[in-house]
Structure 1
């Protein structure tokens, strides 16, 4: 055997050996990361905690004492209803492969998903639960706009229709590779899917169910501000699961989202407080609480895409926008929205989605756009995603409320409304006088 031939054989084997680690890595199955699994389970529990008791206490304190139990009951029972629907078909239609607007029934009743099935580095069952928590709180947000006068049965009928034909397709479009994702829309943790989606549905409901008896003639004040503050604190605490968990891993993006949630909320709390102080002469605890929610909502779509400086600006702008939404815009709309769902979640969600397109720019400290995308194009995509969400959810909400009205009627009789929903709809009183 000649020397040249021996060199060729040696080169062949050495080159092949060099590729062996790469081939082994390519063939290796995905492995569950214990840290990511623990992180995602904790985040899921935090988001569930946001609904029960967070939203329930926050909204319960905002309305009158005679209706507080009805609010707690609506939030709790819709929570349970959404959980069941999510497992039966909701998760599948939102997150399985399908077309641009809906998934398929491939994962209905969670079939074809085993306890060992992975979603990235964590088990898919955890992803099912995490996304269920988002669906639950989104529905919970809506009931604040129609509080104190709607039939309990009408709420449940509406929820089935709206979850199926509004929440699921929008979640699929944004988070499961659907139409808006293909268009390049940025929504890290739910600006369109959760906040704008719920706020517009609530606004439609508030118009259709009508104003509360005595609205504009009687003083409708929150009955328990300490309850409102407690609900706010729970929401703030749980929101770290909401935003950081949307990174789907205990990684640097989760850390960025976590810190952005802290600073944006602080900025919004201050801007709302000082804005209200300037307008009304006194800063209020209700304003402080509302500022917290405004900041949390505004940073939600942006938290994993923008830098800390951008998050602070988004928070400050969100606080002022929310204050404008519940003072000026609410009067313009002439709507009775008892918990200011649209004024805070709608307005701040829209502001946050649009500003995500600005501050995601690497030149402003963000993570940067997709290759070839400019700020102008990204902002346009963000505006389009906001507009599509508004139109889609408004149409579905209108149909859902109309169906509920035809089946059971939307509103309780006026004498029951004046006496209170607690005793008339649920046979209970929150307080003994």
Structure 2
């Protein structure tokens, strides 16, 4: 066991987990004041579900054993009798590797929550996350990150989760949005813009654990990943800010933060394989494509992805995965089989990345559709129009985000604004017709 590498991966695991509350602040700042608690809780409570599922069967199904190159085998339920102290090929204990991969199982479903906030039943979301983890996430991890996986055998490169995490979460977000339908009111006033900046900063910090930690040691790949993560995010941030100025005449906080996030997503699959120049190109391309999709294509689709989970994670993830086939360099990563198109490797890696990306998109879209169609027969997927108008903080949790909102509930603001919704409750207080004395 290498103590330095082991300590590094434990720290990286902590940083990846730190991204989950960061995402809660990022999403919580973007939604209306009626849905802040529901949004932040929907992100954060996944921590509990994902950890229990991962140690019960998730690690085994993802990375232990093999069935047809698609899924693993459960031999150690809840890690029982698994030799956690055994040293892996990366010279870290198996238990530390289990811990690191566990954090990805937490953050991935949290990402698609942004697409469904404000209108999905909490109960449906919970059941969906369990089924999605078992039927979508674990098989995808095995396909790409297990040495026995079919896509790994094909030669698909994904250093830190462009396909496994971001394309996966993005396609899930898009598919769920299509099933849910549009919101009754799509005009959102963000609750707290400083929270968006705070969440972005936490996510960026955590992303060093996400990307550099995927090297599983203190080595050149970790150094490259940390550097290219910084460059990709910076290039994307500046690009989105320039686009905002060009389109609206002024830079915006939310736009700048969104740009940084797109860059972080875009560089993730390529981060350990590309030069700084390649990282900058990927960051710029990810932002340009995401900005174009969100502003031009999304309005024409008629699919209401509330916080653009697909527009950021799905689109930027697809761009990053494909461009890995262009900018991957054997000088940076000597162990890869083929260099990218821009570095003398020809078309082979680009074609592999295109095929792998397409397979992930189709597989995730089909499985999420199947899960949703079956699950909605047993659990209601969408809250009532009245509950949506009141906000899910009230209807699902009866917990206000702050005292101002609580006071509005106490004063009956929702009752006065939406009298038809409370007609049954208020009916007993209706003025009664005067009776004549006889």
- Asked if 1:189 is matched to 2:160, the reply is yes
Give me the whole-angstrom Cα distance separating, in 1, the residues matched to 2:338 and 2:361: 28
Match of 1:44 among 13, 21, 30: 13
Q: How much does 1:368 deviate? A: 7.2
Give me the whole-angstrom Cα distance separating, in 2, the residues matched to 1:85 and 1:105: 12
**Map of 1:355 onto structure 2:** 323
Q: RMSD across aligned C-alpha pairs, in angstroms? A: 1.5
SS at match of 1:66: coil
Aligned residues: 397
Contact 2:39–2:117 (Cα < 8 Å) also in 1: yes
- Shifted more, 250-259 versus 366-375: the winner is 366-375
Q: Any idea what the Cα deviations from partners look like across 1:158-184, whole Å, max 9, x if unmatched? A: 111111111111110110120100000
Q: How much does 1:302 deviate? A: 0.2
TM-aligned CA distance change 1:118 to 1:420, over 3 Å: same
SS at match of 2:35: helix
TM-aligned CA distance change 1:386 to 1:129, over 3 Å: same
Contact 1:329–1:343 (Cα < 8 Å) also in 2: no
TM-aligned CA distance change 1:329 to 1:371, over 3 Å: closer
Contact 2:325–2:339 (Cα < 8 Å) also in 1: no
Contact 2:339–2:349 (Cα < 8 Å) also in 1: no
Q: How much does 1:214 deviate? A: 2.4
Match of 2:139 among 144, 169, 179: 169
TM-score between the two structures when normalised by the length of structure 2: 0.88
Match of 1:141 among 82, 100, 111: 111
**Map of 2:277 onto structure 1:** 309
Give me the whole-angstrom Cα distance separating, in 2, the residues matched to 1:404 and 1:77: 20
Contact 1:96–1:107 (Cα < 8 Å) also in 2: no
Give me the whole-angstrom Cα distance separating, in 1, the residues matched to 2:17 and 2:285: 28
TM-aligned CA distance change 1:371 to 1:403, over 3 Å: closer
- Shifted more, 403-412 versus 59-68: the winner is 403-412
Give me the whole-angstrom Cα distance separating, in 1, the residues matched to 2:330 and 2:71: 33
SS at match of 2:113: helix
Q: Any idea what the Cα deviations from partners look like across 1:45-72, whole Å, max 9, x if unmatched? A: 0000001x11111111111111000011
Q: How much does 1:329 deviate? A: 2.1
Give me the whole-angstrom Cα distance separating, in 1, the residues matched to 2:292 and 2:28: 23
SS at match of 1:409: coil
Match of 2:42 among 68, 74, 77: 74
Give me the whole-angstrom Cα distance separating, in 2, the residues matched to 1:317 and 1:122: 36
Match of 1:328 among 296, 299, 320: 296
SS at match of 2:82: coil
Match of 1:111 among 71, 80, 93: 80
TM-score between the two structures when normalised by the length of structure 1: 0.89
Give me the whole-angstrom Cα distance separating, in 2, the residues matched to 1:204 and 1:151: 16
Give me the whole-angstrom Cα distance separating, in 1, the residues matched to 2:306 and 2:346: 37
**Map of 2:246 onto structure 1:** 278
Spell out the pairing of 1:191-206 with structure 2 (5 A cutoff). Answer: 191-206=162-177
Match of 1:236 among 199, 204, 207: 204
Contact 1:302–1:356 (Cα < 8 Å) also in 2: yes
- Asked if 1:156 is matched to 2:126, the reply is yes
Give me the whole-angstrom Cα distance separating, in 1, the residues matched to 2:383 and 2:144: 37
SS at match of 2:399: coil
TM-aligned CA distance change 1:371 to 1:322, over 3 Å: closer
Q: How much does 1:221 deviate? A: 2.8
TM-aligned CA distance change 1:253 to 1:366, over 3 Å: closer
Give me the whole-angstrom Cα distance separating, in 2, the residues matched to 1:382 and 1:111: 37
